[in-house]
Amino acid sequence: MPEALFKKAEEMANRLEISCSPLFTLALENFIRQYENKQLLERINAVYSDAPDSGESQYRKLMKDYYRRALEGE
């Protein structure tokens, strides 16, 4: 670890009144959580990046028309 980074970590640990070990644990947990969230978001975006196929588009149009007629009938 670069000396400058370690000094910053020591300063932060002192301000938080904890030792460096728990600070490193918190930092690593946060890094892993952010990485996992990024991976999940990328998978979600990949799923939703596909345009609907013609069957899905037709079904959506039918449902839209159905709900519009149902609301007009109220």
pLDDT for position 6: 95
How do residues 21-59 score in pLDDT, each as one tens digit?
A: 999 999 999 999 999 999 999 999 988 887 777 888 899
**What pLDDT is attached to residue 21?**
96
68 Cβ contact list (under 8 Å, min separation 6): none
| Cα–Cα distance measured from residue 13 to residue 21, given in angstroms and rounded to the nearest whole number | 9
The C-alpha atoms of residue 23 and residue 10 are separated, in whole angstroms, by 9
- What is the pTM for the complete model shown? 0.60
62-74 residue pLDDT tens:
999 999 998 887 6
Q: How far apart are CA 31 and CA 9, in angstroms?
A: 15
What pLDDT was estimated at residue 74? 62
